[in-house]
Amino acid sequence: MALAALWLFVNGVELAPMPLAGAALSGLAIGMPIAYLFRRFYASDIAIGGLLRSIPATVIYLVLFLTELITANVDVAYRVLAPSMPIEPDVIEIPLRVESDAAITTIANSISLTPGTLTMDYNPDRNSLYVHAIAGRDRELVVAPIRQWEGYALRIFDEERSPTDPVPDPDAGNETDTDASADTDLDADTNGGEPDGK
């Protein structure tokens, strides 16, 4: 419903009863067959309670996103018009707490829709987004709104983690693997090429 209202707003339909009714009917005529064709991609049962619980978090997410959108527009315009403002682009890895495809996609799209930032890639092994930012040298400036969005996305998409959980360190698991392989290589070197006891 919200998406339909947004489409009417973006499409510029005249706010009179007949054009609105025509747009709504044409949307139904196109949307219903498409929804029917792709019905196997939907969950077999939808928890109404979960949907109702996610409404306040969704509203807050949208307010935070629109606030950041306006702020970022002003910031980018000011950087373009004021030569003294620094433009220090950089690519930042942002590890995520959200894990569902819908939540990751929502955050990635929110980043790309915000002027001055662009989601370049997602690494599923590290559960991290790679974000190009116009002010990338100031990591906290870029990451702060994303963490706010992620906190509400955890509630919206009913994720296992809580907004109060710490951000995972994607290198934490890799360090132990690297240390273990380094130990094995060291043992092999000291024992004539054969790891001891293995």
Which pLDDT tens digit goes with each residue over 120-148? 999 999 999 999 999 888 889 899 999 99
Instruction: Give the pLDDT of residue 175.
Output: 44
Query: How is the beta sheet containing 128-133 ordered, strand by strand?
Result: 90-95, 128-133, 117-123
pLDDT per residue over 17-51, tens digit each? 887 788 778 878 887 888 788 777 766 656 666 77
Domain boundaries, the chain: 48-161
Mean of all residue pLDDT scores within the chain: 80
Instruction: Give the pLDDT of residue 180.
Output: 38
Four-CA torsion 185, 189, 194, 198, nearest 10 degrees = -40
Report DSSP state, residue 11.
Answer: H
Four-CA torsion 132, 136, 140, 144, nearest 10 degrees = -30
